[in-house]
A and B are shown apart, each in its own frame.
Chain A
């Protein structure tokens, strides 16, 4: 969350839910990209760097497509 810039909420939709203390699931991140692809991650065993890497993998592809389209 802290890695998002101050203007992040004007450019994308962000929804956060705080889990209760005795919740079963360890934590989850869901990302929907603008081409419709969705990624789900179970964050109970991941670090922040892992999550960023996973998300960046697809966003790099999208960026390249954008660049080629001009």
Chain B
């Protein structure tokens, strides 16, 4: 029984990541093939030519915005190429040191942005939601532009996106990694000891400006971001990780007599996992598609897993 809450946690966690990835990755309904002849069918439809640099950058920024749950924006002032290289290396090694097995370090990237283009991509990502409302035109750039015009003035990130701006993007929200990255790139007082001197001279030219958390992290729709200022980012970096917080919440619920609630919430996940396991076994050939043996064996498999 003592292990049970953790099992429940793991089930919900995998379930949550599954749903978020399907909503963010899966394309909205099948679209007709591209309008421009001679292009691969995997090219998304656009009004503007997909061969220009601007279109490709726009797409890169859009996918960056849609796939990263946490981004930090900072100003970079005249860094030399060697300083960039040193800083990227220090960041990679610093993150790898925390957890050598995870791929989080490789996924954490510094991207130098073109602010105006990024701002327009941001407006599309936040103001135009193809999953919920679709324009009749392919791509519908004019309609999107009109729809998102007001965001130019009202968006909280718009004062940040001027001058030389770069973004640090994390593949997932892990406060430990965020804290390590902040310590390396934006130290509060003295730079971390043992850094490359080139990296130190480089990080003096950084100014941390703001952060953005994507909607699918905190339960809103994907693409709808929340902007944080520097103090909030530092607070976020000090939080314990998600599993610890979930454990605390669970303990609190149990203490307050919410054990029934916990059980009921867990049942959904457990039921789903059972179904999927059964199906998986049927596919792999361990079970035939009969009713009775499937039922008993599924129960056995579930117990083994627990």
Residue numbers of A with Cβ under 8 A of B are 1-2, 4-6, 8-10, 14, 16, 18, 20-21
Are A6's CB and B79's CB within 8 A?
yes
Residue numbers of B with Cβ under 8 A of A are 75, 77-80, 156, 163-164, 201, 204-205, 207-209, 229-231
Are B80's CB and A6's CB within 8 A?
yes
Closest to A6 in B: B78
Give min CB distance, A5 to chain B, whole Å.
6
Give min CB distance, A7 to chain B, whole Å.
9
Closest to A5 in B: B78
CB pairs A–B below 8 angstroms (24 shown): A1-B75, A1-B77, A1-B163, A1-B207, A2-B75, A2-B77, A2-B78, A2-B163, A4-B77, A5-B78, A6-B78, A6-B79, A6-B80, A6-B205, A9-B201, A9-B204, A9-B205, A10-B201, A18-B207, A18-B209, A18-B230, A20-B230, A20-B231, A21-B156
Residues of B within 8 Å of A2, CB to CB, are: 75, 77-78, 163-164
Q: Which of B78, B229, B230 has the most CB of A within 10 A?
A: B78
Residues of B within 8 Å of A8, CB to CB, are: 78
A11 to B149, CA, bound (A): 44
A16 to B230, CA, bound (A): 14
A21 to B79, CA, bound (A): 27
Q: Which of A2, A4, A10 has the most CB of B within 10 A?
A: A2
A16 to B206, CA, bound (A): 10
A1 to B230, CA, bound (A): 19
* Contact A20-B164, Cβ < 8 Å, known A1-B75, A1-B77: no
Give min CB distance, A66 to chain B, whole Å.
25
Closest to B80 in A: A6
A14 to B75, CA, bound (A): 15
Closest 7 CB pairs of A and B: A6-B78, A1-B77, A9-B204, A21-B229, A2-B77, A2-B164, A6-B80
Closest to B228 in A: A21
Residues of B within 8 Å of A20, CB to CB, are: 229-231
A25 to B154, CA, bound (A): 21
